[in-house]
Each structure stands twice: as structure tokens, then as C-alpha cells.
Amino acid sequence: MSTIFYILLAALMGTSVPAEPKGAAKVNQVLVTLKAPKASKNAEKFLLSESEINEFIQVAIKSKQRLGIKSIQLDLNEKGQLRAIATINMDEVKVDVTGTWLFKKVLSGTQVLKAEGKLVTARGKGHYELDKAEFNGVWVPAWLAGAVVGFVGKKQPPHIDVTEEFALPYGITDVVLHSDRLEIVR
């Protein structure tokens, strides 16, 4: 969902966090390396486990308040599939998409958003294709969940709507999801 995926993207865009747990420290080290100029013309690959990424996300949420986000848990799968579960205070999220006012009463207060989709990257660009979503166990149209993801992403660093194509930072050419790990290539 990234609502979900955008914190990971924020990490890639350079938002480091205090590195308390070992997994968060490893993600921070990868960020430091990515920020530095590339050492050679050979491709560089960085592997991060699902648990390391989730540790980093939890530290990031605790270290800096995120608009409406209380928690996020990512589940990485083969072929770019990404499932995210986020607890969001919808009263802090103002969605500007025609028709969403109909859902305002239903989507108020703290909600659990589950989103499933695919991370698509090619030639240094990427976007997240949302396949399905649910709020508190009730399936909602992907466009509505996409509106929430887009709003949250635009309002917080790195201010990117991950549902639209964006440039990958630091010369990254590809991000590949494997079962339980993420591979960054530059």
C-alpha cells in the first residue's frame, strides 16, 4: 500500500531513522551507501529482508510522526507482489477525490487498511499498482484506497504518489521483490 510503500520509498529517498534495532541499522547502512556516489560502473545489489524493512518502518513511524499512520507491516512476495497492512487515523487524512465524501462517515477514526498490489519498476522508474484493498475487513474499491495512498504519499516526505510513475533515486535502476526480501539494483 504502500500508504504502506511510501515509508519504504521515503527511506530510499533519504529519510534515515535512528538505528536502534539491528534490521533498522542495516537499512540505514544501505541508505548511506546509496547516497554516496557509485564506486564503479558495475551493477550494485543490496538485499534487505522483510523483517529488516519492517523494523525500519516501525522505527521511522516512532521517530517522526506520519500523517495519520499508526503502524505498517509489509509482506513481500514473488513477482513484485506486495501486501501491506496499515493502521491509519482517517480523521487526519483528507482525501480529495470526487465521490469519497460518500465514504466519510464510514472511513472516520482509526481504520485498518489492507492493500495488495504489485510494485512495477523499469529503467529507473517505478509505480505501485493497487489490486485490492479492504478497510476493517470490508473490501473497498481499489480507486478509493488508491486515493488514500496517493494523498498520504503526497503530503509526507518524499511527497510522491506511488500509484503514479516516479523516478527511483540514487541511480537505482530496479527494485525486485522476492519472497521475504527486497533487492535494490543500481
The per-residue pLDDT for 6 is 46
Helix, strand, coil percentages (3-state) for the chain, rounded to 5, are: 30, 35, 35
- 8-42 burial string, b = 16+ CB within 10 Å, else e? bbbbbbebbbebebebbbbbbebbeebeeeeeeee
Q: Is 76 helix (H, G, I), strand (E, B) or coil?
A: strand
Of the ranges 11-20, 28-37, 99-108, the best mean pLDDT one = 28-37
Q: Which of 186, 91, 92, 84 is nearest to 145 (CA)?
A: 84
- Per the structure, the count of domains in the chain is 1
3-state secondary structure of 159: coil
Give the model's pLDDT for residue 96. Answer: 53
Model pLDDT, residue 12: 46
Which band of pLDDT confidence, cut at 50, 70 and 90, is reported for residue 9? low
- Confidence at residue 54, expressed as pLDDT on a 0 to 100 scale: 93
pLDDT tens column, 104-136: 556 678 888 888 888 888 889 988 888 888 888
Q: Is the pLDDT of residue 94 over 90?
A: no
pLDDT in tens, 29-43: 998 899 899 888 999
Q: Indicate the helix (H) or strand (E) that contains 15.
A: none
The rounded distance, in Å, linking the Cα atoms of 83 and 64 is 23
Helix axes 22-35, 50-63, angle to 10 degrees: 90
Q: Which domain holds residue 142?
A: 5-185
- pLDDT classification of 26: cutoffs 50, 70, 90: very high
Segment among 79-88, 114-123, 147-156 with least mean pLDDT? 147-156
Q: How confident is the model at residue 87 (pLDDT cuts 50, 70, 90)?
A: confident
Rounded to two decimals, the pTM is 0.75
**Residue in this structure with the C-alpha cell 539491528, named with its chain if needed:** 22
pLDDT bucket at 183, cuts 50 / 70 / 90: very high
Residue type, 39: A
Q: At what angle do helices 22-35 and 5-12 cross, to 10 degrees?
A: 50
